[in-house]
């Protein structure tokens, strides 16, 4: 809100957790633009399609009840994670994400991730852009898939990652745990 007041153009893309905002459709509040997808032109000359990504999650689309159970279990793991890391902190061990570990240990989750990455990349290809920027699956990544640059910012509640664009058009994933003693 402060950035928007100070003349920064803020673009907000709702996802499955703030889906109610989608009912507003495309909307503009002051300097904040509400959209479902948008194309970003990078200083490296490429165009990137940006979307949250839940549009390509079959569980969210077809089995809402399972998504709700998963969402509850996820919140529980995140809460438990706080205690685990308080304990680790006592023993001066570095921050460690329980939920990221739990997800990564499940082989099916890995298949799910690669399917998701491929589906979004082929969607981007169908839109004639050079890359896709998304989130949703909480797994930060930058990789090339059939000539499309797939980029996922990860999340700020579990793995603490962010995606940044440098002025020369380079993209990078920042990892909070690598840059702090927490
Ligand atoms: Mn999501």
**Domain limits, the chain:** 36-175
Radius of gyration of the chain (CA): 18
Query: What is the share, in percent, of the chain residues with pLDDT greater than 70?
Result: 91
Distance (angstroms) between ligand 1 centre and the Cα of 163 equals 16
pLDDT, tens digit (0-9, with 9 covering 90-100), for 35-70: 999 999 998 899 999 999 998 887 666 677 777 777
Distance (angstroms) between ligand 1 centre and the Cα of 14 equals 9
Distance (angstroms) between ligand 1 centre and the Cα of 53 equals 7
Distance (angstroms) between ligand 1 centre and the Cα of 138 equals 8
Low-confidence residues of the chain: pLDDT under 50: 181-182
Distance (angstroms) between ligand 1 centre and the Cα of 90 equals 32
Quote the pTM value.
0.77
């Amino acid at each position: 809100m402060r950035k928007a007041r100070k003349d920064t153009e803020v673009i907000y893309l709702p996802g499955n957790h703030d889906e109610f905002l989608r009912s507003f459709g495309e909307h503009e509040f002051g300097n904040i633009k509400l959209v479902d997808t948008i194309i970003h032109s990078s200083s490296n000359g490429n165009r990137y399609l940006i979307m949250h990504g839940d549009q390509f999650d079959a569980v969210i689309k077809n089995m809402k009840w399972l998504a709700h159970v998963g969402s509850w279990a996820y919140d529980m793991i995140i809460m438990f994670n706080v205690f685990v890391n308080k304990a680790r902190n006592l023993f001066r061990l570095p921050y460690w994400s329980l939920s990221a570990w739990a997800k990564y240990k499940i082989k099916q989750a890995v298949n799910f991730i690669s399917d998701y990455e491929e589906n979004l990349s082929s969607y981007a290809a169908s839109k004639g852009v050079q890359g896709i920027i998304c989130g949703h699956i909480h797994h930060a990544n930058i990789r090339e898939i059939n000539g499309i640059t797939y980029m996922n910012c990860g999340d700020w509640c579990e793995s603490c990652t962010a995606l940044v664009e440098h002025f020369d058009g380079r993209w990078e994933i920042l990892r909070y745990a690598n840059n702090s003693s927490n």
